[in-house]
Amino acid sequence: MDYLKLLNESQRAAVLNTEGPCMIIAGAGSGKTRVLTYRIAHLLEKGVDPFNILSLTFTNKAAKEMRGRIEKVVGAEAKNLWMGTFHSVFSRILRAEAQKIGYPSHFTIYDSDDSKTLIRNIVKEMNLDDKLYKANLVLGRISAAKNKLISVAQYLRDPAIQADDEAALRPKIGQIFKVYAERCFKAGAMDFDDLLFNTNVLFRDHVDVLNKYQHIFKYVMVDEYQDTNYSQYLITRKLAAKDRNICVVGDDAQSIYAFRGADIQNILNFERDYPELAVFKLEQNYRSTQHIVEAANSVIKNNKAQLRKNVFSENEEGQLIDVIKASSDNEEGKLVAHAIFEEKMNQHLSYEDFAILYRTNAQSRAMEEALRKMNIKYRIVGGLSFYQRKEIKDLISYLRLAINHNDEQALRRVINYPKRGIGDTTVEKLIVTANEYDHSLWEIVSNATQVVGGRAGAAINDFATKIKSFAVMAEQKDAFEAATYIAKHSGLVDDLYADKSVEGLARYENIQELLNAIKEFVDDPEKEDQSLASFLQDIALLTDADTKKEEEGEFVTMMTIHSAKGLEFRNVFIVGMEENLFPSQMMLQSRADLEEERRLFYVAITRAEKKLTLSYATSRYQWGNLRACEKSRFIDEIDPKYLNFKFGEERPVFEKVLQRKTPAAQLITPAKKPAAAPNYTPPADFTPSDTSNLQAGMRVEHPKFGFGKVTKMDTQGNSTKAIIEFEGVGEKTLLLSFAKLRIHV
């Protein structure tokens, strides 16, 4: 019981309260993971069977770390806990019970790319406008419906939903949803939303199955409860209905995933479902300085929809929060890069101690350029995942087909890769036939000679035979042996090896890396099931946080605030603190949206341990135009006594530039010696010249600035700029790809 001495009074009370419904409101940096870990350890020490504990975490990585901590306290019994993400735990249940809802136990899990590709195919087959019915948009609509447990039938007969689609000029989304669901079912595939939707269907239609798992899960724990959607809420409520030993942990002030379907009302209204609820508040922040915590409090108090708590810190008071004011987004990048360099040198820190957080990925450009100019290494979190690379998806498609022949997306991806003489027209013919006869694509492919003759028919027949042989290997061998055999005999490895380009070599090495990952999976002593099917299930359920590979060396970390949730850094820079950027213009339509943005800012502030810096620009390029910007209201919501304003001087020259509203394409830098531009009117016959051979010393005419002389040419990469001294205007730097110049010889 020594671990209880490591807890403060509130934490200890939450750990010891194991019976009945319980809500732990955990402020940022309040030791939430420690409480969850010791609460489970305490249950095990009391004699609760680990098989009777269900613990739902935010990521698989978090589950693995927590299981390791629990193991240190109670030993190997921790391995028997039901612990993982909603999707991983309930896909495990669905595999055991799949046949009850008409699916094979080795069903494929479609990622968002698979789903979007299928939707694009359906839109094309239905002869719909793919610009109107964009895959991203259609999938988002389908996903939102599933998260609210709206079936295809309900979607099609709900007049409000149909009216919304018609108002958006997309009346066929319901029909696409219907075909999408049918094709997934026929392919023996579920997308991520189906894993939860079908769990609800399973529990609704098979009371015996629900009863079985209610008896298994005597204790249910849910982390990050503020981020649950309606579907997740219903599953946990049903499972806990028998014993009512449900413990939810979360912080309403960190609910930032409404765009994914998360419903903050789940945590705000938890007491309605459990009137006997015991509530514990973890209010001491162990992560941040007092100034940072108080600044965060002064912001979040402006939200009306919240569970009131008094977060405090007993750490040092700390430095004031710097607020950097820049004249442009490029200057903002420069000032942030300089601040990072100076802080690193003065405090003897590592670049790993710094993070730059922004509202949207597009903001990274100016920051990247500034860091590169100062030779500061950085890494951007949220790039292309290893498992999203083309060559990896190609091999995984072969592996998926070996396990589930009906997997339509995998089949379409590799039926002619490497090339085997099966053209697009032939594939379309197979698909049309499959749809006509209501068969899966594989059923047609495995009998292709009845549909397609000649060489193509023979090639399809050979392909089907090859896939059947892969299935035998997958059945008889472990994941590594089967995958190695499939990689070689599919022709994929030979095809990549033959490409001797730098890119080709990288793709070949990525395949080797995938096989290494499969070998690690097989060699893991904790993996009882070493089959290919088990490996595929593992990687299908990886979240972004699970697939992040840590690069070696010192890097400044750059990421969106959404990606930063759950992380912490010694020094944090929150950039782009401007109205219509943060808060986003898209989130100013309602109080609920604005409060979500404020929670996002709260999350950003509370990532910082020792030092926090906010920055904003008075102008920013957007859609090719230079726009005036206004400081974010969120800065004004922080009590001024916690702020230190820097670089606060206005730049009158820049303000004049803004007032002229010169297009960004023409104006690269403001004039060195600004003067009022003459009212120059170009002649009626003004026609721009070909400027590809423009040189210093040439005389030119501009439709706005008049006549001038080229003083210098500057070429960087694909862009060429001309520095021109215009008569009566001064020096201008123009981008030739946009500037309209007439050359006078």
**Catalytic residue list:** 32-33, 223-224, 254, 607
**Residue 435: what residue type?**
N
Contact 183, 122 (CB under 8 A): yes
Tokens for 580, please give them: 């219509």
Residue 189 assigned to a binding site? no
Of all helices (H) and strands (E), which one includes residue 616?
Answer: strand 608-617
729 to each of 175, 587, 735, how far by Cα in Å? 61, 42, 17
> How far is Cα 555 from Cα 354, in angstroms, rounded to an integer?
8
Tokens for 480, please give them: 């590594």
Residue 30 assigned to a binding site? yes
Contact 42, 15 (CB under 8 A): yes
> How far is Cα 720 from Cα 690, in angstroms, rounded to an integer?
13
> How far is Cα 355 from Cα 337, in angstroms, rounded to an integer?
11
Three-state SS at 377: coil
Residue 98 assigned to a binding site? no
Residue 32 assigned to a binding site? yes
Question: What does 637-665 look like in DSSP terms, one character per residue?
Answer: TS-GGGEEEES----HHHHHHHHHT--TT
Q: Is the peptide bond before 583 cis (omega within 30 degrees of 0)?
A: yes
Tokens for 504, please give them: 């080709």
- 519 DSSP assignment: H
Tokens for 41, please give them: 């350890």
Other beta carbons less than 10 A from residue 41's beta carbon: 22
Tell me how long the chain is. 745
> How far is Cα 339 from Cα 333, in angstroms, rounded to an integer?
10
What is the 3-state secondary structure of 389-401? CHHHHHHHHHHHH
Other beta carbons less than 10 A from residue 2's beta carbon: 6
Q: Which of 35, 40, 59 minimizes the C-alpha distance to 50?
A: 40
**What is the Cα Rg of the chain in Å?**
30
Tokens for 343, please give them: 């802080």
- What is the phi/psi pair of residue 276, to 5°? -85, 15
> How far is Cα 279 from Cα 610, in angstroms, rounded to an integer?
30
CA dihedral (542, 544, 550, 551) positive or negative: positive
Pairing of strands 742-744, 699-702: antiparallel
CA dihedral (622, 625, 631, 633) positive or negative: negative
Q: Which of 327, 324, 332 minimizes the C-alpha distance to 619?
A: 327
Contact 27, 274 (CB under 8 A): no
Residue 31 assigned to a binding site? yes
Other beta carbons less than 10 A from residue 707's beta carbon: 16
In 240-307, which residue ranges form alpha helices assigned H by DSSP?
265-268, 270-273, 290-300
Other beta carbons less than 10 A from residue 274's beta carbon: 17
Contact 682, 701 (CB under 8 A): yes
Contact 182, 210 (CB under 8 A): no
Q: Which residue has the tokens 């008569």?
A: 727
Task: Measure CA of the first residue to CA of the last residue in the chain; give whole Å.
Answer: 91
- What is the phi/psi pair of residue 425, to 5°? -60, -40
Three-state SS at 403: helix
Residue 27 assigned to a binding site? yes
Q: Which residue has the tokens 């000649």?
A: 454
Three-state SS at 732: strand
Which residues are annotated binding-site positions?
A: 26-33
Binding residues for ATP: 26-33
